[in-house]
C-alpha cells in the first residue's frame, strides 16, 4: 500500500482503491509492503477488538517499509489504521484459508 496525500487528506491506496480491504491468509506470514511518498510520517497499525496486535513502526517521508503478520484466526475481525491519521487512513482485513 502507498500513503496518499490529496489536498491534505491522507489515505492508503493500492490497485484495489482507497483504504482497501486487505486479504490475509491463515497459517501464513502476511506481508504488507508500505510506501510513503508524502511529506508526513505514517505507521500502519493492525487492531483486533480495539487492541493493537501489530505495527509497522514509523515510515518517514520518502521511505518504505513493511509489516509482517502471522497471527490470524479465521472468523476474527481485524482492522488497520495509521497511528497519525486514524480517521482517514483506515480499513478492514479479511481472513481466508
Contact 13, 4 (CB under 8 A): yes
Cα distances (angstroms) measured from residue 35 to each of 27, 50, 97:
25, 25, 27
| Average pLDDT over every residue of 82-93 | 97
Question: What is the per-residue pLDDT across 12-24, written as a single tens digit (0 to 9) for each?
Answer: 999 999 999 999 9
| Average pLDDT over every residue of 76-97 | 93
Question: What is the per-residue pLDDT across 70-80, written as a single tens digit (0 to 9) for each?
Answer: 877 766 779 99
Q: In this predicted structure, what is the pLDDT of residue 26?
A: 86
- CA 80, CA 75: separation in Å to the nearest integer? 16
Question: What is the per-residue pLDDT across 31-54, written as a single tens digit (0 to 9) for each?
Answer: 999 999 999 999 999 999 889 999
Domains in the chain: ranges and CATH: 2-96 (2.60.40.420)
Residues in the chain: 97
Amino acid at each position: 500500500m502507498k500513503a496518499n496525500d490529496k489536498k491534505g487528506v491522507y489515505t492508503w491506496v493500492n490497485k484495489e482503491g482507497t483504504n482497501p480491504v486487505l486479504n490475509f491468509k491463515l497459517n501464513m506470514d502476511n506481508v504488507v509492503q508500505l510506501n510513503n511518498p508524502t511529506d508526513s510520517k505514517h505507521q500502519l497499525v493492525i487492531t483486533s477488538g480495539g487492541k493493537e496486535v501489530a505495527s509497522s513502526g514509523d515510515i518517514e517521508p520518502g521511505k518504505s517499509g513493511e509489516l509482517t503478520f502471522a497471527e490470524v484466526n479465521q472468523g476474527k475481525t481485524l482492522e488497520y489504521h495509521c497511528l497519525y491519521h486514524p480517521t482517514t487512513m483506515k480499513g478492514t482485513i479479511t481472513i481466508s484459508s
